[in-house]
Chain A
Amino acid sequence: MIGEHLPALQVVVPLVAAPLIVLLRSAPLAWLLAVGVSWASLVIAVALLLQVQSGGVISYAIGSWPPPWGIEYRVDALNAYVLVLVGLVASVVAPYARSSVAAELPRERHYLFYCMYMLCLAGLLGIAITGDAFNLFVFLEISSLSTYVLIALGRNRRALLAAYQYLIMGTIGATFYVIGIGLLYLMTGTLNLADMASRLREVHELRPVLAALAFITVGVSLKLALFPLHFWLPNAYACAPSPVTAFLAATATKVSVYVLLRFYFSVFGAAFVFERLPMRGLVLTLSVLAAVTASFVAVFQQDLKRMFAYSSVAQIGYITLGIALVNENGLAGAVVHLFNHGVTKAALFLLVGGIALRTGQVTFERVAGLGRRMPLTSLGIVIAGLSLIGTPGTAGFISKWYLVLGALDRGEWWLAALIVASSLIAVAYVWRFVEAAYLREPAPGVAGSGEAPDGMLVPAWLMVAACVYFGLDTSYSLGGARAAVAVLLGGAP
């Protein structure tokens, strides 16, 4: 009975939790509810994934209005995978948030944080699960608006500026997206993605369709911070409260990538986007530029959060690079990197949050000698950093392996060489941390306080363990990604 309504519950549970938290007002209760709801989302997402694996695509008509007239929630191997990622990260970040929020925000705003966190979660899950283009826009706005608030909650006043910057860019992105949808609606008369895909086949070559593709590409690229539309991201990540950074880095951009995948492969069709239009060259160039330049910029940052933020821009470059390979191995690399990078970056930002709690700032001066003051945190950053580099035995290696294979399958040797070469730059910035933490003496005047509280350390280390686990046992992460790729290359959603 409940099993039937899981697609709706996936979004409704966190959506209802948000106003409930406002009514509760009490911080501990709000936290408890947020944790419970996050875990419930994970359970629902896993249940949906299992249902998809056993029974194929799930179509759920909201309010029993049959698609394409009503809003359809449609779950296949691809978005079930993304839902599990979002649920997983939310479930780890929510328990972590308690100590972190208590330290970073004034007490009277705690419930607001959890409320916005629930809204953001609902928005991201909604984007992933809906099969309706306009409904997707609505959830995009829900997640974006709550994200602006979450970033602005950062204790540094620069957080306001960062939030404002993201607000402007995010709004432009959303507007572009909705213009694209408008054009598509004009041409097809439908907002249901599956329906839209089948109707588009007849009007492919018309100029409004091309314009729609352009608008959607730019709009979504802004949200996923594709180079050179990434300028909002480092500021936003650096200034937001720690749990927000971890949550956004691991999920928000990933969900946007999902939207891009959905439109390119399911709605417009890979053959149209990549073969008849020069999109492949465009995406490929931008991806390589992102991977190389953002990695370089990361090497020269003075602030750990900012460094890992630039690293995120580079890693997103790898994901879109995998998309531009448009073959089985390349796409498997892209999709599995959604997951692997999500887990890796969550681990890193959660650990960095612990440092921020103890030392106030996370500049390289402050982390000098950290290996002795916070041994577990430092070791965790090193291990997750290795996953970021793509060391074999960690999750990052699996993604890199498939990206390289994808490039080789196309016979593009130079691209394979570029992929491995750019991961060397990651060695440079990860090793800056290693040298600072283990081979430098702490600066005078830095408080010698110990590890982060267990409430933060345990969730962070769970993610660190996941970085290693998903590098050795890939049956879930890679298996799910390959099923998703089969959907992408198979055609309609």
Chain B
Amino acid sequence: MTPDAVVLAAPAIPAAGAVAIALLGARPNLREAATLASAAALFLAVLSLLGPVLDGARPGAVLMEILPGVALAFRVEPLGMLFALVASGLWIVNSVYSIGYMRGNGESHQTRFYVCFALALASTMGIAFSANLLTLFIFYEALTLITYPLVTHHGDYEARRGGRTYLGVLLGTSILLLLPAIAVTWAVAGTLDFVPGGILGRGMSNSAIGGLLALYVFGIGKAALMPFHRWLPAAMVAPTPVSALLHAVAVVKAGVFSVVKVIVYVFGIEEIAGLKSVDWLPFVSGFTIIAASIVALRSDNLKRRLAYSTVSQLSYVVLSVSLLAPLSVMGAALHIVAHAVSKITLFFAAGAIYTASHKTEVSQLDGIGLRMPWTMGAFTVGALSLIGVPPAVGFVSKWFIFQGAAATGQYLVMTVLGASALLNAAYFLPIVYAAFFRTPPQDAGHGEAPLPMVLALLATAALTVGLFFYPDIPLALARQLAGS
């Protein structure tokens, strides 16, 4: 297949996988095989695009013209390539984990679960490879809607309530802010294509550009910038595999990915660098980093703590792209990868703990590291990575963000980064300490979670460390993004 055809195959493979999963609903083993097969096929397809993209090619495809001059179109650029690689690669691991989790916990509606999961990945691929704002917007909304059944999977009161918040915030921001932002962009620029260097030109006053940026960064609610972050903790009512892949990787990364993409390809870094009207963004994202960390510190529920940690880490990406320097844009791209592999490890561990011991609160975890050494070992790796300790990939991205801040002389930002590293340590390390060094309570003994889950979390932990030593591919893509 030519790279252009592979681009179309990327959303099509999981969509076809969803059909196969639905048809095989009555035979669980075959159904799970279909999930794994489509995950593997998707990863291979995305991987085959890597070579051409690294060589500077931008494969793409145009499907149909939705509005005059705006088509449903795909084009692979470095950032999208990176995002698609991360999402599709982790889907394989997550599928192995899901099988262990869903069976281990005897969840209902498993066919619906896997179908929606595959469709969510299809939407994610659409977002990653979108060639213009409209295509991005279509798949962005599709991702919100298709993950709703996953969030409300349990169907009880809690799930309904969480689902309402989830949908209310995400649809509310995208309809109220993002859609007008896109319409204004169209009215000003006459195009919605992503073009290196931006498309706005000289059609807007400086203050209007600041306003438009606000519409975008708050309108992309999936980036969870405060005050539009509430949907993310609400989404934690979902089964853990959903929280792991979707609410630590695909959905939230789709948010920050869109923010980076809009700033780089719609506004243009050089076009808006130094504008007074856009210098508020580092403060808003810096505030979110600190405030969310403090909330995380005070949460006893493990998944909730992880969710607020995600809110905080997402703002790292927004903060670093908002510095509008090449190094910090690289840092933003790298942090998308770094946070993805680290946070999915942490969620995998949380789910493994729940499956093995039905514990959900941090205060219940005394001594659990002795019973689940592999799980808590992986948890420790993920935690250290998010704090920014080498040898874990989190160090690499934070290094670049720090360099970007130093290069632009943003001392306040450097302070925020330092404070946040301390806060991260403050809410992660006590868990590690309690797990390994406190005496376990004398309740019913349990061992590790089912094997597929342990394998999955070890794989992502290994990836977290491995990417520290071999960051070549993400680095090359990030460099292309910053250089373009």
Neighbour of B183 across the interface among A390, A391, A404, A472, CB < 8 A = A404
Query: CA–CA, A389 to B175, complex, Å?
Result: 10
Report A463-477 CB contacts with B as 1/0, cut-off 8 Å: 000000001111100
- Minimum C-beta distance from B26 to chain A (A): 15
Determine the chain A residues whose CB is within 8 A of the CB of B341 once the complex forms.
Answer: none
Determine the chain B residues whose CB is within 8 A of the CB of A417 once the complex forms.
Answer: 176, 180
30 A-B residue pairs with Cβ-Cβ distance under 8 Å, sorted by A, are A386-B145, A389-B175, A390-B175, A392-B134, A392-B141, A398-B66, A401-B67, A401-B183, A404-B179, A405-B183, A405-B186, A405-B187, A408-B183, A408-B184, A416-B183, A420-B180, A424-B171, A424-B172, A424-B176, A427-B167, A431-B164, A439-B155, A439-B159, A439-B163, A472-B64, A472-B66, A472-B72, A473-B64, A474-B65, A474-B66
Determine the chain A residues whose CB is within 8 A of the CB of B137 once the complex forms.
Answer: 392
**Residue in A391, A435, A475 with the greatest tally of chain B CB atoms within 10 Å:** A391
- Minimum C-beta distance from B144 to chain A (A): 9
A438 touches B149 (CB 8 A): yes
Please provide the chain A residues from 442 to 493 with a CB less than 8 Å away from any CB of chain B in the complex. 471-475, 478
A421 contacts the other chain (CB 8 A): yes
A303 contacts the other chain (CB 8 A): no
Determine the chain A residues whose CB is within 8 A of the CB of B355 once the complex forms.
Answer: none
Please provide the chain A residues from 410 to 428 with a CB less than 8 Å away from any CB of chain B in the complex. 416-417, 420-421, 423-424, 427
A393 contacts the other chain (CB 8 A): yes
B142 contacts the other chain (CB 8 A): yes
Query: CA–CA, A400 to B174, complex, Å?
Result: 14
Neighbour of A475 across the interface among B65, B142, B145, B163, CB < 8 A = B65
A365 contacts the other chain (CB 8 A): no
B204 contacts the other chain (CB 8 A): no
B149 touches A393 (CB 8 A): no
Query: CA–CA, A416 to B172, complex, Å?
Result: 15
What is the size category of the interface that chain A forms with chain B? 20 to 34
Determine the chain A residues whose CB is within 8 A of the CB of B187 once the complex forms.
Answer: 405, 408-409
B67 touches A393 (CB 8 A): no
Please list the 3 inter-chain residue pairs (A to B) with the smallest Cβ-Cβ separation, ordered nearest first: A392-B138, A393-B138, A404-B183
A439 touches B160 (CB 8 A): yes
- Chain A contact residues: helix, strand, loop or mixed: helix
B152 contacts the other chain (CB 8 A): yes
Please provide the chain B residues from 260 to 291 with a CB less than 8 Å away from any CB of chain A in the complex. none
Neighbour of A393 across the interface among B65, B142, B180, CB < 8 A = B142
What is the size category of the interface that chain B forms with chain A? 20 to 34
A391 touches B141 (CB 8 A): yes
Extra A-B contacts (19), CB below 8 Å, given A391-B145, A398-B66, A473-B66: A389-B175, A391-B141, A392-B138, A393-B138, A401-B67, A405-B187, A408-B187, A409-B187, A420-B180, A427-B171, A435-B160, A438-B149, A438-B155, A439-B159, A439-B163, A472-B64, A472-B66, A475-B65, A478-B67
B184 touches A420 (CB 8 A): no
Query: CA–CA, A471 to B145, complex, Å?
Result: 17
Determine the chain A residues whose CB is within 8 A of the CB of B64 once the complex forms.
Answer: 472-473
Determine the chain B residues whose CB is within 8 A of the CB of A391 once the complex forms.
Answer: 141, 145
B67 touches A423 (CB 8 A): no
**Residue in A420, A431, A478 with the greatest tally of chain B CB atoms within 10 Å:** A420
Report B156-167 CB contacts with A as 1/0, cut-off 8 Å: 000110011001
Determine the chain B residues whose CB is within 8 A of the CB of A473 once the complex forms.
Answer: 64-66
Query: CA–CA, A393 to B145, complex, Å?
Result: 12
Nearest to A408 among chain B residues (CB) is: B187
Query: CA–CA, A401 to B175, complex, Å?
Result: 11
A404 touches B141 (CB 8 A): no
- Minimum C-beta distance from B189 to chain A (A): 13
Determine the chain A residues whose CB is within 8 A of the CB of B159 once the complex forms.
Answer: 439
- Minimum C-beta distance from A329 to chain B (A): 9
Nearest to A402 among chain B residues (CB) is: B67
Please provide the chain B residues from 115 to 172 with a CB less than 8 Å away from any CB of chain A in the complex. 134, 137-138, 141-142, 145, 149, 152, 155, 159-160, 163-164, 167-168, 171-172
